[in-house]
A and B are shown apart, each in its own frame.
Chain A
Amino acid sequence: MEKTYTVSVFTENSIGMMNRVTIIFTRRHLNIDSITASESEVKGVFRYTIVLRTTREQVDKVIGQLEKLIDVFKAFVHEDSEVVHQEIALYKIKTAGLTNGDVEKVIREHHARILTVDPQFMVIEKTGHVAETQLLFEKLKPYRVLEFARSGRVAVTKPMKEFSTYLKELEESNC
């Protein structure tokens, strides 16, 4: 059965790493819904967060092949219930729309905030799950959304084991 999975990959920060990670998915004909990368809590170790829909069997094998990459420390897979995740969305609309009292209401109701106001346009920011940022998009549509961008998912896991603990275990497993 297909489900949404969040894959977290901890890697070295080397040239081409993104490519190395993504071709593992390509090879199995898996489509990535979103991907983000940034330095993790451990200096120099990067964290990729990849969201995709597939079967447990496929994603487990992907994890095995990701961990086979020389520059990958460890890869994890989690279901939605096992992670706290968030996305950020930016909406650019005409400043003229601000004078309409309804926009203020929409922003308040959705706990969004205004990042910047220019004489011509303003930028609204909203963080949340896809459904939430999408809903705000629908609500702002009547005021003409000039641009809309949503980030990939960032996620932290609920289990309390820290990555640095895994790192230590991995070092010890190398005899």
Chain B
Amino acid sequence: MNLIKLTGAQAVVESLLAEQVDTIFGYPGGAIMPIYDALYDYKSTVNHILVRHEQGAIHAAQGYARTSGKTGVVFATSGPGATNLITGLADAMIDSTPLVCITGQVASHLLGTDAFQETDVVGISMPITKWNCQVTKAEDIPAAIAKAFYIARSGRPGPVLIDITKDAQFSETDFHYKKCTNIRSYYPRPKLNKSVAEEAAKLINEAKKPYLLIGQGIMLSNAEEELLEFAEKSGIPVASTLLGLGAFPNNHPQYVGFLGMHGDYAPNIKTNECDVLIAIGMRFDDRVTGDVSRYAKQARVVHVDIDAAELNKIIKADVAVHSDAKEALRILTDLVVPKQHTSWLQEFKDAKKIEVETLLESTRKLHSEELKMDEVVKMLSELTNGEAVVVTDVGQHQMMTARYYQYNKTKSNITSGGLGTMGFALPAAIGAKYGAPDKTVVAIIGDGGFQMTLQELGTIMQSDINLKVIILNNRFLGMVRQWQQMFFEKRYSFTNMVSPDFVALSQAYSIEASKVEAREDLKNKLLKMLNHNGSYLLEVMVAKEENVFPMMTTGASVSEVRLN
């Protein structure tokens, strides 16, 4: 074997190259300087994107991972650099995003001494990483990185953090990289039990009103084609969770809509009318189920998930299939009999009609001259044929986008689902663009969330990427305001927000920008934004007090969705 002598810092970069890493999001600082110094020699092979805040780096890596299907890589220094990653780690953990975060740490002889910029990041990040470790010797670096990539991407993906002391980065080691393919206490590839699959197929074949709920697991296991085959052969209506949007083409005749608190009417109420509920790669989040004691009680439940801890966690499954979605769908497709559920599908369409008419009626009552968020999203969807990568933040605009953007392509919906991190969208969109450079990437953000991470406009400026940013400005923290209106007697406690001139702000960063205030300008300005060669920010002034409906209020059942 040919061994080369490298410093720990060089070993970090060489290990990343061995994992085919070509993009890193990061921010240098004292304890990670040796790694940055080593990176200087790899400028032509590795693209490092300098963000403006470490939270921006990790959200960008999340966006990158979600559009590219690869593992996102983050560099940050010790102390504040590391703690600034925490929100992103928690976000990636709950949304199953594969990340490898490398943090610098003070020299090993200083550990535990409250040294400058020392923080116990391994301790802090333990509950919000899939795995983490501290490396204090250069020779341990390649194996730790190999293990990190294996864990991040296999099984149910998640974020991994490796904390490397400064002395480990400086000292020399014989470099040899071996990919990790097995850890004796970790079983990421459950063998699908054939008899369990047969049991599931039997339930599906006997069902009169089967109903398929899909989640992000479809995309994480690259099972989009298998899903399409299974759905078309079985004829079952398909609904999606927030993170599952895009896994099944939204223009498909069997697609019935979006689930959950602000989901569509039909998919929610039909949950309590189906006879067999098939859930694949989704985890019955409380925003999807509403009151679990009144959730799908009439149905037999088939739950497919790669994470055994999700099975029977929230909803008791009659058949729990511990498996990767792709493999399960392949086998189930073989086992199910071809069917069409025309009248059952029609029931969804009838319910949809009720929703559309009721919402239309409510809109008529509002001041018609004010632009509504849904108009903007619908127009964007039309102009991009539902084929753009759409990155959203958290709040009303997020729900409106999930409701009205027609996601026809997989890995095209990037949003903070489980954690609900405001400030996610702008940095995530930067990463999403690096992960899908040939696609149109549009970030849709509220005026509140935008101001949580707007410093990343600097990253856009310096990276010279082609990113479109739409701010839906309602001059409120809209979702909280909606709840205050509905459940807190309109006591708008600290939800009205005064914002800077976003157009001028954007221009200060040399990003072209304009503002839409009238309906007649919307289409042209959207077109101008989309056709602009380079990044563009469009601020759209929307109605101040628009509410998102349908809505399943806290404690309500899926059958009690409110349309107004």
* Chain B residues whose C-beta falls within 8 Å of the C-beta of A173 in the assembled complex: 187, 190-191
- Return the chain A residue nearest B314 by Cβ: A61
Instruction: Say whether B151 faces chain A, with CB atoms less than 8 Å apart.
Output: yes
* Chain A residues whose C-beta falls within 8 Å of the C-beta of B126 in the assembled complex: 16, 19-20, 23
* Contact between B187 and A174, CB atoms less than 8 A apart: yes
Interface residue ranges of B95-127 to A (CB < 8 Å): 122-123, 126-127
Please list the residues of chain A having a beta carbon within 8 angstroms of any beta carbon in chain B: 11-12, 14-16, 19-20, 23, 27, 61, 64-65, 67-68, 70-73, 170-175
Instruction: Say whether B189 faces chain A, with CB atoms less than 8 Å apart.
Output: yes
* Contact between A64 and B308, CB atoms less than 8 A apart: yes
The stretch among B178-186, B363-371, B524-532 that forms the contact with chain A is B178-186
* Chain B residues whose C-beta falls within 8 Å of the C-beta of A73 in the assembled complex: 184-185
One of A14, A15, A19, A70 near B151 (C-beta < 8 A): A70
Instruction: Say whether B535 faces chain A, with CB atoms less than 8 Å apart.
Output: no
* Contact between B183 and A70, CB atoms less than 8 A apart: yes
* Chain B residues whose C-beta falls within 8 Å of the C-beta of A15 in the assembled complex: 133-134
Given contact pairs A23-B127, A70-B151, A71-B186, a sample of 13 additional A-B residue pairs in the complex whose CB atoms are under 8 Å apart: A14-B133, A16-B122, A19-B126, A61-B313, A64-B308, A64-B313, A68-B309, A70-B183, A70-B186, A174-B182, A174-B190, A174-B191, A175-B191
With a 10 A CB-CB cut-off, give which of B123, B189, B309 has the most chain A CB atoms.
Answer: B309
* Contact between B127 and A27, CB atoms less than 8 A apart: yes
Instruction: Say whether B153 faces chain A, with CB atoms less than 8 Å apart.
Output: no
Q: Given that A27-B127, A68-B309 are known contacts, is A174 also in contact with B189, CB under 8 Å in the complex?
A: yes
* Contact between B189 and A70, CB atoms less than 8 A apart: no
Q: Given that A64-B308, A68-B307 are known contacts, is A11 also in contact with B189, CB under 8 Å in the complex?
A: no
* Contact between A65 and B185, CB atoms less than 8 A apart: no
Q: Report the minimal beta-carbon distance from A123 to chain B, rounded to whole angstroms.
A: 34
- Return the chain B residue nearest A61 by Cβ: B313
With a 10 A CB-CB cut-off, give which of B127, B185, B309 has the most chain A CB atoms.
Answer: B185
Q: Given that A61-B313, A65-B309 are known contacts, is A171 also in contact with B185, CB under 8 Å in the complex?
A: no
Give Cα A19 to B307, complex, Å: 22
* Chain B residues whose C-beta falls within 8 Å of the C-beta of A27 in the assembled complex: 127
Give Cα A68 to B184, complex, Å: 13
* Chain B residues whose C-beta falls within 8 Å of the C-beta of A67 in the assembled complex: 308-309
Give Cα A170 to B126, complex, Å: 25
Instruction: Say whether B188 faces chain A, with CB atoms less than 8 Å apart.
Output: yes
Give Cα A173 to B188, complex, Å: 10
With a 10 A CB-CB cut-off, give which of B126, B130, B133, B186 has the most chain A CB atoms.
Answer: B186
Instruction: Say whether B483 faces chain A, with CB atoms less than 8 Å apart.
Output: no
- Return the chain A residue nearest B147 by Cβ: A70
Give Cα A73 to B182, complex, Å: 13
Ordered by A's residue number, 21 sampled pairs between the chains whose C-beta atoms are within 8 Å are A12-B185, A16-B122, A19-B123, A19-B126, A23-B126, A27-B127, A64-B309, A64-B313, A68-B307, A68-B308, A70-B183, A71-B131, A71-B185, A71-B186, A173-B187, A173-B190, A173-B191, A174-B187, A174-B190, A175-B189, A175-B191
Give Cα A173 to B155, complex, Å: 13
Give Cα A166 to B231, complex, Å: 37
* Chain B residues whose C-beta falls within 8 Å of the C-beta of A65 in the assembled complex: 309
As a 0/1 sequence over residues 240 to 277 of chain B, the CB contacts with chain A under 8 angstroms (1 = contact) are: 00000000000000000000000000000000000000
Q: Report the minimal beta-carbon distance from A56 to chain B, rounded to whole angstroms.
A: 12
* Chain B residues whose C-beta falls within 8 Å of the C-beta of A174 in the assembled complex: 182, 187-191
